[in-house]
Amino acid sequence: MIDHYLKEISKKYASKWLVMLFDVLTVLMTLVFSFFIRFNFRLDFDIWIVFKQMPYVAVAAIISFMLVGSHKGVVRYTGFKDVVNIIIGANILATILLVTVLFSRKYQVDTVLGFSGSIIYIHLLLNFLFLIGSKLFIKSVYNKLIQDHDEIKHVLIYGAGSSGIVTYDALTNDIKTNNHVVGFIDDNVDKVGKKINLLPVYGINQLSKTLIEKNSVDEVIISIQNISSKRLLEITNFLFNLNLKVKIVPPIQNWIDGDLSVGQIKNVKIEDLLGRAPIQILNPELEHEYENKVILITGAAGSIGSEIARKLTNYKCKKLILVDISESPLYNLQQEFILQGFDNFIPIIADIKDKNRLDKIFEEYKPSIVFHAAAYKHVPLMENNPYEAVNVNVKGTKNIANISIKHGVTKFVLISTDKAVNPTNVMGASKRIAELYVSCLKGKGKTKFITTRFGNVLGSNGSVIPLFKNQIERGGPLTVTHKEITRYFMTIREACQLVLEASTMGNGGEIFVFDMGKSVKIFDLAKNMIVLSGLKYPEDISIKITGLRPGEKIYEELLADGENTVKTYNEKIMIARTKPININKIESTIINLCSINNETSNLEIVSIIKDLVPEYISKNSKFEVLDSVRNQ
């Protein structure tokens, strides 16, 4: 009941005029104290003179505080800026009194205004002490009364620079959380061993389980601006091994009105640990590229397709045509856009294998740009269903590409994958064939065919991150196919930035890849996810090695044998130069592959695929027998 009453009071702020009254009364009180101190606490002065001086001092104080606006500060949130304002205001007051003394002496004005210099200086110091001290005292008492009586969380701040100090202020000023800062950590050896706000600064090599247990440290907040992803990964891995929770302060440009609040300090996310800086694409040409254009997206309800659609809502598109075969996900995307007030789109349920249906859609809406994101992507499923992999990934792409030429589409952007590079599975090989087919169409009609090739997308449907999250929720274990398996990762946002940029810079025939940094070991990713979930490895959740799945590589690649790269104006984006291909032979073989029916054996289908993609060598798969025959 008391807590509820206090919280209701906390929603109200004291009037600035009440704060002004309090400050003026404090100044008058310190005036009396100044005289007592000056006369060694004896009443050897005319007390009535002091009372006569009070109205003038009160007026001078009001003028001083009005000039700096110190009365506008909220007492419960008193911080560094408020202290500075109080100091400035007190100095202005002392200056006014000194000017008054000089004026009264020169012109022999009423002796009531004849303050002695020592009184003014003592008064100034007392004002510093009482004005600042009273506000900090009120703030401290208020915070003790109003804060929730949860268990205190002991925190270390990583970074003893200006950002770290701001973080300290934000934590200590927040009344809704019981954060207790016990010290700082810094990489600068000149700061280690010193104190900031009476708190010790440790070097990271000084952190040990003994130190952590002694100070009951619960978490570390990383407050370093412009920290490299590589360094962030090193720090978090070190802290995770000490079983500490880790949070991170956002960049200054993301602070609200330039001020940091505790609510902005977030848990380290798995995408923060990719070991590279996020891909940033700031191209003003994007707006011109998509303005007043009808844009069609296949696979629009999938992870990539839906994010491309979301990005395009920021541009002045004439119409977005969202095509997908999955009813429920497309309905969810439709409702999302409606709730956001975006209505310039048309959701269409359609199958990219249905050529006639696609032709009618293109005839009706006449898109000028096509983003082809529809595909089957799961390696083990496609390894057992090569007919479907061909039907969707190859024939579906062929349908969309041919119809794009027929209807004069300006640009066609194919969403591909790093699994198309030196493929070891049916899925990757089918995506490589899709790349080959659109390469064969260069110069046929006015459509410019552009391919984007990237690695695994964090958080996409069916990816390893949602899988690990589900396994953690069930109590584990997390399953990893091989302890040394690595993958390149990007965020969905990065993937879609690349796709939109590729459409802008592409002139037709390019395969765009980008610098994804170092590949990430899946085993380490699993350990990090366990710790990010607030659990311990292996005490709380273990990791089980299950063995490589059919067609699965240990290492992925972004370039095939015989390919090299050409730089673009964005250092993170490159163009892969592919080795020459026999267009007529490949096109006719792909047409033959697309003519197969569901009675064709899997071995026969994969055999044709291997003829089309000579670098396709099966791994851990029943189709390895075809490689043995081919090598004889």
| 20/43 Cα distance (integer angstroms) | 30
In a 3-state reduction of DSSP, which class is residue 450? Answer: strand
Whether residue 248 contacts residue 222, with contact meaning beta carbons closer than 8 Å, is answered with yes
Token pair belonging to 505: 């810079």
Q: 419 catalytic, yes or no? A: yes
Whether residue 383 contacts residue 389, with contact meaning beta carbons closer than 8 Å, is answered with no
Token pair belonging to 518: 């170092």
Is it true that the peptide bond before 477 is cis, omega within 30 degrees of 0?
yes
In a 3-state reduction of DSSP, which class is residue 349? Answer: strand
| 220/157 Cα distance (integer angstroms) | 6
Q: Is the CA virtual torsion 127, 130, 134, 135 positive or negative?
A: positive
Query: What are the residue ranges of helices labelled H in 393-486?
Result: 397-406, 426-440, 464-473
Whether residue 627 contacts residue 555, with contact meaning beta carbons closer than 8 Å, is answered with no
- The residue written with tokens 């992803």 in the block is 229
- DSSP lists the bridge partners of residue 490 as 457
Whether residue 557 contacts residue 421, with contact meaning beta carbons closer than 8 Å, is answered with yes
Which is nearest to 302 in space by CA: 310, 294, 312? 310
Whether residue 306 contacts residue 300, with contact meaning beta carbons closer than 8 Å, is answered with yes
| 549/19 Cα distance (integer angstroms) | 70
Phi, psi of 567, deg, nearest 5: -70, 155
Token pair belonging to 534: 């607030």
Phi, psi of 462, deg, nearest 5: 80, 0
> Residue 155: how many CA atoms within 13 Å on its side-chain side?
26
Token pair belonging to 466: 């949602």
- The residue written with tokens 């609510």 in the block is 263
**What does the chain come to in residues?**
632
Q: Which of 245, 411, 419, 553 is catalytic?
A: 419
Whether residue 414 contacts residue 451, with contact meaning beta carbons closer than 8 Å, is answered with yes
Q: What angle do CA 44, 47, 50 make, to 5 degrees?
A: 120
Token pair belonging to 602: 């899997």
Token pair belonging to 126: 């007392």
Which is nearest to 207 in space by CA: 227, 230, 184, 229? 184
Is it true that the peptide bond before 347 is cis, omega within 30 degrees of 0?
no
Enumerate the active-site residues.
419
